[in-house]
Structure 1
Amino acid sequence: MRRWPFALPAAVAAVGLAATLAAGFLIGRAGEVRERLEFETRAEAASDALADRMDTYMAVLRAGAGLFAASEAVSLEEFRAFAERVEVQARYPGVQGVGFSIRIPPGGAAAITARMRAAGSEDFTIRPTPGAGHNHAIVYLEPMDDRNRAAIGFNMHSNSVRREAMDRARDTGLPALTGKVRLVQEIHPEKQAGFLVYEPVYEGGAVPGTVAERRTRLTGYVYAPFRAGDLLHAVLPPEEAEGLDYAIYDGEPQVENLLHASSSGPPRGALVSTRALEIAGRPWTIVYWTPHAWAGPGHYTAMGVVLAGLAITGLLAVATLYQGRARLAAEREVEARRVAAARQRLLLDELNHRVKNTLATVQSIAAQSLRHGADVNSVRKTFEARLIALSEAHNLLTRDNWRGASLADLARTELEPYGGGRRGAHVFERTGSLASAQHRRRARHGVPRTRHQCDQVRGAVERIGPRRPDVEP
């Protein structure tokens, strides 16, 4: 019972704390799952947007291949008109331009150079110089700005990364994406990683049925160069990609394969998701992450629940403690009242008993005084002395709450009417109840009940001295 006020609040605090932590964990976990789902949804939407945009660019390249299929020879003016009509940079932001790279047959470099200069490109030069094997040169590239002008005449097949994609497009008849390259258009200090997409063009327009025929009948490529940073800013503008950073890799997510990153990398504790994307036969890896360590609404909700739970648990524990203390105090008060009532009943019973005994003692004293008195005066004196001795005996017993009294003191008080002296007496140690019993028996019968008691009283009388002659025994 004494430990109850502390045990119950401790149990309430423990259960409340456990429930609060469990609720906070579950809510935080649910919030994290919800945030993770929203993050994954946004990452998937970004990947889909990039794939859709690349499909759109490749549709423009197929349209350009259709232009060459519909004409035996497409002039610079016709190609320029096509590019202006499709509004490449206005409708398809992120692409550097649309061009055509012609296949240079063995010994045909001089003829192509002469034809291009005659068409208006007076400084047209094929570079690097065509060597053995296949060679291709950029002859058209629109819009003709300072960046694209620097690419005219470039032999793209001389570069291994470009050559791999060109050969793949030639053999499959499908658009092909290159790996990470540095575009020849990068003539300004702010350089970016780049890549290109090739759409093969064959004699007769249709795609031949076999690889051998495709290699024989290839005339060139309609292609598009891309600056990776410009493309990603167009596909995922900052206002739409808020709360979502990313990095795009050509193949495996390694530093040397990085095409573009919106930030330096994911911070510690950020949500991270990786997507594999295939664009025109080339694998890309896109890593998305949150700009900051995860602390979404669910996180703050969980913290709020934990704090509120701790506060409520503390209040309940304190209230339970005070309630327990109040209950214990009430039980103690009830117990104290019960003890007091029992003590009062005991005292009343004892008082009733002692009143009866006292009346019986007074009756005995009166009878003894009348029996041995010679006249009224002697009876009165004897009766008064005995009453006073009885009163003094009661004073001795009540002095220690009836717990005990010295037998010598009691004997001296009782025998005072008989001896009157206050000389030394033996110290008789007896309980108050025995002394009181001795007095009541002596007062009632006139003599002690036992020889031992008589000897004790006689010893006390002898020490006190002779009795007073005016007091009747």
Structure 2
Amino acid sequence: MLTASVVASALRGLMRRRHTWPVMVMAMGSLATAVAAAGSWRAMDLEGQDRFLQEVEQTHAAIQDRMETYVAVLRATAALFAASDDVTRTEFAAFATRLNLPERYPGIQGLGFSAHVSPDEVERLEADMQRQGLEGFRIWPAAPRSEIHSIVFLEPLDSRNKAATGFDMATDPVRRAAMELARDSGEPAASGKVRLVQEIGQHAQAGFLIYVPVYRGRDVPDTVEERRRLLLGHAYAPFRADDLLGKLLGGVQPSVALEIHDGDPAAGAVMHRSEGWSVDGGAQYRTERPLEVAGRHWTVAYAAGDGLDGTSGRELVWVVAAGGLLATGMVSAAAWAQARARVDAERASAAERLRAQELETINTVGTEVSAQLDLDQLVQSVTDGATRLAGAQIGAFFYNVVGERGEAYTLHALSGPGTAMFAGYPMPRKTALFTPTFRGETTVRSDDITQDPRYGRNAPHRGMPPGHPPVRSYLAVPVISRSGETLGGVILGHGEPGVFTARVERLVVGLAAQAAVAVDNARLFGTVQKQAEHRKLLINELNHRVKNTLAAVQSIARQTSRSCSTPAAFVQSFEGRLLALSNAHNLLTRGNWEGAPLVELAQAELAPYGRSRAVIDGPAVWLPPQDAVALGMAFHELATNAAKYGALSVPDGQVRLGWSIVDETGECRLRVRWEEVGGPPVTPPARRGFGSQLIGDGLANQLDGNVILDFPPTGARCVIDFPFVGNTTG
């Protein structure tokens, strides 16, 4: 506290330098505002950089996953040729149509096959392709060479792809290098940047191709010499880079812009440049990531786009700066008025000292609140500032809450020298004295609260609890948000009467209004942080589920291709199994991937055969995602076998599917029973197909249970018994 002599000395100094003090206040306030704004700007910049890097990782992973998907499609195409000695153009077109390239694989220009022939086989190949419906087919360009890699199949056969039919890709050194790499390694290989022969329009795009080798025989030869000798051709796909990446990124306002280079950016081979890419490098955030595409090294340069800048939140910096400047201006104006008043009126030193302390408190609290986003520290700062500003012995900030006994108020912050003595007392309730404050109706100020007619009317204490320090002067100010919600109230007390003046009331009311804005901002900041964390969690979960699904589809394709002797059988089996997987995923998606009802899983697989052909019986059971997918695939395989060879292959046959929950030695288990009746006599199969392997081995391992599959003459039977970790309520 200042003494009278110190205050008098300061007054004489101010009289000599009445212009110095306001200038210093302005300078200090401006400096504090600049520091707060700079800190906020730096925090927002770091947050923007983190958000940019998160967007980069998500976009990069999306590109990588999509390219791996295309490679998987090419592997499946190569498997078609490896599984058949003679694939016709009609069969290949049917295979490509089944894939539904435009819908499932947007951005791919086509799916094709190039035949590897010697010069003396050219006439035979041209005649064969003409017999298959390609009128006027010829291999071009016409030039002497030792080997030829001619495009013979390319779907869909639109105008662009027709222009490429018959082209010998080995005549181009870039394409030839990629084909030779794929041939010698036995793995997919991407070409460098090329101009596709499909570019027949005015607006040409950069292109590239991915090749997967196909050898005579079913397996990849062991040595390079054998691979060169047994090469049949290449399954391949051409890509127009702009179409591919444009469809991959969705065509929406991106948060990042990107530029893709074939190899090192210094080489200047730009494959794709997205809209919004700044050639002059004016983006605030930039980074590069390597990308491997079928053995080819790409470099992806990323820059912050308009979508990221639009969510940067830097407007908060301007709010901080404007608030700081406003507070500095107010403090500076008050300081100027104070200096003039002191020089002109020479008011009492005690009053001047009190005014200076009030202004210092407002400036300190205003600076802290404007830059503070931690809710607990913010409320404590407001409570401390109000207590100092009013000269109260005790100050408290209470929140509005609704408990089991109705509306009440929770203590959030205490301030003042006597805080310890108040910590053990009960919270205030909805009484006549507190209601105006916590409903936001009005400020309550009393010189002696014990004389207020609303005081002492509520049981059990009829006033202050026993042992409560005496409070005479009382000031309660509601804290109301911009939306009109009453957040709580600031309550101040003093043991002496008449301490809180009208001026103190106005100051605390202004501080409460500033606190309400700051609390809203802190809540908003916390909400934004939680939403960002939740969004990141959802994206990671989606990425994980998509990868798991792709791995399951790849496994199904691989196992199906091994067990099918013809492409038609492969397509039929593969589509059926994918549909079973899709049915399970639909049920799981409807349940937010928390589980799926067993009865609906069974009905989905047996519905195509009619209700009278399938008897389904069992209690309500919800399966976890992994168990639901496994049982769905098993039901599909059993139903398919029954339709081909068992009870569902004759009009009077029937399938009985039931389940029960049993308790064995304290362990809860789910027992599923499949039984076929009324069908033709059954004999055990001579060999185990994919379905038998999936049920007999894969299902038991996946469910950590037991599977019994037998084939008595009366009809196939299957019992699946495994630990039950789901629930019976959903």
Q: Which bin holds the TM-score, normalised by the shorter protein? A: 0.5 to 0.7
SS in 1 for 2:208: strand
2:336 to 300, 312, 321: 321
> Is the contact made by 1:89 and 1:97 (CA closer than 8 Å) also made in structure 2?
no
**In 1: Cα distance, 2:116 partner to 2:203 partner:** 32
Offset from partner CA, 1:36-88 (integer Å, 9 cap, x none): 21122112211111111111111111001111111111111111111111112
Q: Which residue of 2 aligns with 1:32?
A: 45
> Could you tell me which residue of structure 1 aligns to residue 105 of structure 2?
92
**Residue of structure 1 in register with 2:61 after alignment:** 48
What does 1:349-388 correspond to in 2, within 5 Å?
Answer: none
Q: CA deviation at 1:325?
A: 2.8
Distance in 1 separating the partners of 2:75 and 2:162: 23
Structure 1 segment 169-184 matched on structure 2, within 5 A: 169-184=182-197
Partner of 1:103 in structure 2? 116
Q: In 2, Cα distance between the equivalents of 1:28 and 1:72?
A: 67
1:400-422 residue CA offsets vs partner (Å, 9 max, x unmatched): xxxxxxxxxxxxxxxxxxxxxxx
Aligned pair partner of 1:283 in 277, 286, 297: 297
Is 1:245 aligned to 2:257, yes or no? yes
Map Cα deviations across residues 315-335 of structure 1 (whole Å, 9 max, x no partner). Answer: 11221222233234444899x
Of residues 35-44 and 197-206 in structure 1, the stretch that sits farther from structure 2 once superposed is 35-44
In the alignment, residue 232 of structure 2 is paired with which amino acid?
A: T
In the alignment, is the contact (CA less than 8 A) between 1:4 and 1:324 conserved in 2?
no
When the two structures are aligned, how many residues end up with a matched partner? 333
What SS does structure 1 have at the residue aligned with 2:174? helix
Instruction: Give the Cα–Cα distance (whole angstroms) in 2 for the partners of residues 126 and 175 of structure 1.
Output: 25
**Cα distance change, pair 329–246 in 1 and its aligned pair in 2 (3 A):** same
Percent identity between the two aligned chains = 44
**Residues 1:232 and 1:36: Cα distance change in structure 2 (over 3 Å):** same
Give per-residue Cα distances to partners, 1:75-111, cap 9 Å, x unaligned.
1111111111111222111001100001012422122
Deviations 1:327-373 (A, max 9, x none): 34444899xxxxxxxxxxxxxxxxxxxxxxxxxxxxxxxxxxxxxxx
Equivalence for 1:307: 322
Pick the structure with more helix per residue.
1
Alpha-carbon contact 2:258-2:302 (below 8 Å) kept: yes
**CA distance in 1 between partners of 2:129 and 2:311 (Å):** 60
8 A contact 1:166–1:176 mirrored in 2: yes
Residues 275 and 5 of structure 1: CA distance in aligned 2, closer, same or farther (over 3 Å): same
Shift of 1:256: 4.4
Instruction: Indicate yes or no: 2:71 matched with 1:58.
Output: yes
Aligned match of 1:225: 238
Aligned 8 A contact 1:251 1:257 in 2: yes
List per-residue Cα deviations over 1:145-194 (Å, max 9, x = no partner): 11111111100011011011111111111111111111111112222111
Q: Which moved more, 1:243-252 or 1:188-197?
A: 243-252
How far residue 262 of structure 1 moved from its aligned partner, in angstroms, is 2.1
Inter-CA distance 38–120: structure 2 relative to 1 (3 Å threshold):
same
Given the superposition, is the C-alpha separation of residues 305 and 163 from structure 1 closer, same or farther in structure 2, using an over 3 Å criterion?
same
Q: Does 1:257 align with 2:269?
A: yes
Q: Deviations over 1:254-301 (max 9, x none)?
A: 584112212374163543232221111112122222345957543222
Partner secondary structure for residue 49 of structure 1: helix
- Asked if the contact 1:54/1:279 (under 8 Å) is kept, the reply is yes
1:268 maps to which residue?
282
Q: Within 2, Cα distance between the matches of 1:237 and 1:254?
A: 28
1:100–1:139 CA contact under 8 A, matched in 2: yes
Measure, in 1, the Cα distance between the counterparts of 2:143 and 2:115.
Answer: 13
Distance 1:219 1:57 in 2: 21
**Deviation of residue 130 (structure 1)?**
5.4
Could you tell me whether the CA contact under 8 Å between 1:21 and 1:306 is conserved in 2?
yes
1:181-213 deviation line (CA, Å, top 9, x unaligned): 111111122221111100111111211222222
**Of Structure 1 and Structure 2, which has the larger fraction of its residues in strand?**
2
Q: 1:161: which partner in 2?
A: 174
Paired position in structure 1 for 2:147: 134
How many Å separate the matches in 1 of 2:60 and 2:43? 25
Q: What is the match of residue 440 of structure 2?
A: none
Which amino acid is the alignment partner of residue 340 of structure 2?
R
1:30 deviates by: 0.9
Per the alignment, in what secondary structure is the counterpart of residue 219 of structure 1?
strand
Return 5+ residue gaps in structure 2 as ranges: 1-12, 350-730
State the structure with more CA Rg.
1
After superposition, residues 417-428 of structure 1 pair within 5 angstroms as none
Distance (whole Å) between structure 1 residues aligned to residue 39 and residue 148 of structure 2: 64
Tell me the SS of whatever aligns to 1:131.
coil
Higher relative contact order (CA 8 A, sep 6+): 1
Alignment of 1:76 onto 2:89: yes
2:78–2:235 Cα contact (<8 Å) kept: yes
Aligned residue identity for 2:142:
T
Q: 1:151 to 1:332 in 2, by over 3 A?
A: closer
3-state SS of paired residue (1:78): helix
C-alpha separation in 1, matches of 2:74 and 2:183: 14
Q: Assess, with a 3 A threshold, how the Cα gap between structure 1 residues 302 and 200 changes in structure 2: closer, same or farther.
A: same
CA contact (8 A) 2:341 2:347 kept: no
Deviates more, 1:29-38 or 1:150-159: 29-38
